[in-house]
Structure 1
Amino acid sequence: MDWPESPFALPDHASGSETMADAAREIVAAGRRMDRLGFLPATAGNLSRRLSSDRFAITRSGGHKGFLTEADVIEVGLDGQAVRAGDRPSAETLLHCQIYEHEPEAQAILHGHSLAATVLSRFVRDTIVLEGYEVQKVFAGQTTHTAAIRVPVFDNDQDIPRLARNVAPLLNDMPAGYVIRGHGVYVWGPNMKSAMARMEGLEFLLACTLHERSLAR
C-alpha cells in the first residue's frame, strides 16, 4: 500500500488491518491529515488501530504526529502494555484499551487537541449539545439534523485509570465520542476512514458551537 499523493488521503483499507505494517501506514496517514487540519499541535494526541481481539497499534509516547513514520507506531495489548520491550506507549493508552474492550466494532481511535475543543470544553459543565447541523449525520445511528446529540465532557485528570472510571458509565451513549476538558476529543469508528470522518465532523461542530457562542455575546 503506497503513500497516497494527497496529504489528506488515507489508505483505502475498509476493514480491519491484517498486519502491523498496514495499521502503521493508516496511523501515519491519519496523523499527517490531523496535523494539517490543526488537530495535533506540538506532541499532542494519540492514534490507534485494532490488530486483533487483544492487541492494537498506537503511536508511541511523545513525538509530533504530523511527522510520524511507521517506526513511531508500536504494538500493545489490551492491558496497555507494550508487546516489545523498550517501547513506551502514552499514559492515555488505557483510554484506547477501554474503548476497544467496550466497543467490539471499534477498529480505529483518534485523539486530538484542537483549539475549538480545548476552549469550548472549558466553558461548559458536563455536556455539549449538538443540534440542527447537517454534519451530525456523520455519527453512527444519526439520520437527521434535528436530533440532539449529547457529547459528554469529562474533567481532565492525570490519573488515567480514574479518568477511565469516570468515562465508563457513559460509554453506551457516545455516538460522537467525548471531550476531556481543556484537553481534546476522543472518537472511534469501524475503520480509520470512518473514525477520521467522525473526528472532522465533531471538530467542525465544536468550532461552529464556539463561534455561535461568540456571536451571541
Structure 2
Amino acid sequence: MPENQLDEELWDERYRSRPALWSGEPNRHLVGEAAELEPGLALDVGCGEGADAIWLARRGWRVDGVDVSGVALRRAAEHADRAGAEIAGRITWLHENLTAWDPGRGRYDLVSAQYMHLPPPERDVLFRGLAEAVAPGGTLLIVGHHPTDLQTTVPLPPRPELFFTGVDVVALLDPDGWDVVTEAAVARSVTDPDGRAVTVHDTVVRARRR
C-alpha cells in the first residue's frame, strides 16, 4: 500500500508496473454488506481497475467510479467494455483527486470506500465529505486495514496514523443522522512474504443515513 494514497504519478507508475494490480474480484466486504441493498446510484471511491463498480453494475446499480490514476481508469473502462455494453453503460469513470473533488451532497444511494488510507486530517475531511454525499436512506460503507495489522508480518507502511478503527469512522458521523448497521474488525487469513498464514483484520463500517 503506497504511503500517499492520492499521489497520481505514484499510482500510475504502480499500475504500469504490472498487467493487473488487483485480483479482478469485487471486495469481499462490498459483496457481504451491499448484496441485499436496493440498486440506485453508487459512488465507488478509489475504484482502481473497476471490479467493484462492475459488480455493482451487474446488480443493476448506476455507478460513478472515481480514481486518481488515469491508468487504472483506462483499465477499468476496458474491463467494463468486456463485461458488455449494458454493464459499461451503467458506469461513469471519473478522474479526480478526492481531496479536491466535491461529490455533491445527498446524491448517492451507496458510497463505498475500500482501503482509503490517509493521515487523520485528510482522512477525516474525506470521510465526512463522503458521508455528506449519501442520500437520505442511503448507505455509507467504509473498509480499511485495522491498526492491529501493523503487529503482523504482512508488509504495511510503518505509519500507525494511516490506519483506523470502526470507532474512528463512527465518531465522524452525526449520531442523530445515522444508524450504524455494522461496526466490526473482521478477521481474514492472508499469506505473508515468507509464505506463512497470517490473520489480519479489516475495519468495516456500514451506516444508513436517516
> As a proportion of its length, which structure holds more helix?
1
Give TM-score scaled by structure 2 length.
Answer: 0.34
> As a proportion of its length, which structure holds more strand?
2
